[in-house]
Amino acid sequence: MGVEYTQLAMELRGRGCMVLEREPMAAHTSFKIGGPADLLVTAPDENAAAAAFSLCRERDVPVMLVGNGTNLLVSDGGIEGVVLRLEAGEEPGLQPDGCTIHCSAGYSVKRLCLFARDHGLAGLEFAYGIPGTVGGGVFMNAGAYGGQMADVLLSVRLMDRYGRIREIPAEALDLGYRHSTLMETGEAVLSAAFQLKPDSRTAIAGRMEDFMGRRKEKQPLEYPSAGSFFKRPPGNFAGTLIERAGLKGLAVGGARVSEKHAGFIINTGGATCRDVLELCRQVQRRVFDRDGVWLEPEVRPVGREME
């Protein structure tokens, strides 16, 4: 028997969640691509998130967590089951030591960086231009300009699919280049603690603006994308390899290799997931034929018929 999504939606609303049925994910991803999620559910707090996990488990409904959707390529067929977002929650909290910030997972990385700056705490400047949430940043071990979440993350609070909560030190996440154990365990990040160092606000702000300036200069921020499409291959740069293979401007449908930064695949209007995947394959093949390097996507393909 099929899942009664309207019934499930009603029950989730009864537990305090906000629910959108058959919601196009194109409206919730920075790529502006993706078919409908059966249910897009926003949990306002941990109790609501636990209720969502338990109701879905009882009915065998898959749950996928999403932050700001800035590292996702969602299938044109959409996502089966529940796509779960955690609300941004309250302002981050500063611990009595004056250097540790606690922040909920749904909070934006950019706002966290501004909070740190305003409190004269250094270490998160690298992350200022990363457009995701704290949860997505921890999951991906997001990084830029020589910094990464692993450098400043102290601990995380996690919830498993049974609604059980545990707090673990950052080392237990085995954070590596765009990797965390969360990719295997499927646990939700509820909140994170960051250990920072005191510094002058002006110096911190200066570094943040410098990194942001470099992004604006080098990245095609005027087009929808999911950031760097490919992971950095050892000892090389994806953008350099793609440019060397003469692939800047290569297009499939509305998807195009950016002229400004060859590491970005952009949506120039109406691109489908299928366009992006075909373009990705062409880039992978042609770079491999030229340089013998197989580029792996950093962007996460999700949804029907993607796994």
Ligand X SMILES: Cc1cc2nc3c(=O)[nH]c(=O)nc-3n(C[C@H](O)[C@H](O)[C@H](O)COP(=O)(O)OP(=O)(O)OC[C@H]3O[C@@H](n4cnc5c(N)ncnc54)[C@H](O)[C@@H]3O)c2cc1C
Q: Which of 139, 194, 223, 229 binds ligand X (CB under 6 A)?
A: 139
Do 65 and 82 meet the contact criterion of CB atoms below 8 Å apart?
A: no
Report the Cα–Cα distance between both ends of the chain, in Å, rounded: 23
Stretch touching ligand X by CB under 6 A, among 3-11, 66-74, 116-124, 202-210: 66-74
Cβ-proximal residues to 189 (8 Å cutoff; 6+ apart), any chain: 105, 134, 135, 138, 139, 156, 157, 158, 182
Contact by Cβ (8 Å): 8, 40? no
Cβ of residue 100: shortest distance to ligand X, in angstroms?
20
Task: Provide the 10 A C-beta neighbour count for residue 170.
Answer: 22
Residues contacting residue 1 through CB under 8 Å, at least 6 positions apart: none
Residue closer to ligand X, measured from CB, 117 or 157: 157
269-276 — which CB contacts under 8 Å span 24+ positions? Answer: 271/31, 271/32, 271/33, 272/33, 272/76, 273/33, 273/34, 273/35, 273/73, 273/74, 273/75, 273/76, 273/301, 273/303, 273/306, 274/76, 276/31, 276/33, 276/73, 276/252
Among 43, 49, 82, 142, binds ligand X (CB under 6 A): 142
Return the number of the residue (10 or 27) whose C-beta is nearest ligand X: 27
Site for ligand X, residues 227 to 266, rule: CB under 6 A: 227
Interface with ligand X in residues 286-305 (CB under 6 A): 300
Q: What is the 3 state secondary structure string of 185-197?
A: HCCEEEEEEEECE
Pair of tokens at residue 17: 């969640």
> Judged by CB under 6 A, which stretch of 43-51, 130-138, 250-258, 286-294 contacts ligand X?
130-138
Find, among 213, 207, 208, 215, the residue nearest to 263 by Cα: 215
Q: Contact between 306 and ligand X (CB under 6 A)?
A: no
The binder of ligand X chosen from 123, 132, 239, 254 (CB under 6 A): 132
Closer to ligand X by CB, 120 or 301: give it: 301
- Tell the smallest beta-carbon distance from residue 142 to ligand X (Å): 3
**Out of 85, 178, 207, 256, which one is annotated catalytic?**
178
**Kind of pairing between the strands at 264-267 and 255-257:** antiparallel
Query: Is 290 tagged catalytic?
Result: no
> Which residue in the set 35, 36, 123, 135 belongs to the binding site for ligand X (CB under 6 A)?
135
298 assigned to active site: yes
Q: Which stretch binds ligand X (CB under 6 A): 113-121, 125-133, 197-205, 254-262?
A: 125-133
In the complex, least distance from residue 152 CB atom to ligand X, rounded to whole angstroms:
14
Catalytic residue among 104, 155, 228, 258: 228
Binding to ligand X, residues 189-208 (CB under 6 A): 189
Q: Give dist(CA 141, CA 122) in Å, integer.
A: 18
Stretch that binds ligand X, among 14-22, 59-67, 167-175, 193-201 (CB under 6 A): 59-67
Residue 144 as a binder of ligand X (CB under 6 A): the answer is yes
Find where tokens 């080392």 sit. 171
Helix (H, G, I), strand (E, B) or coil at 248: coil
Q: Which residues bind ligand X (CB under 6 A)?
A: 30, 64-72, 86, 105, 130-133, 135-137, 139-140, 142-144, 182, 188-189, 219, 221, 225-227, 300
> Residues with catalytic annotation?
178, 228, 298
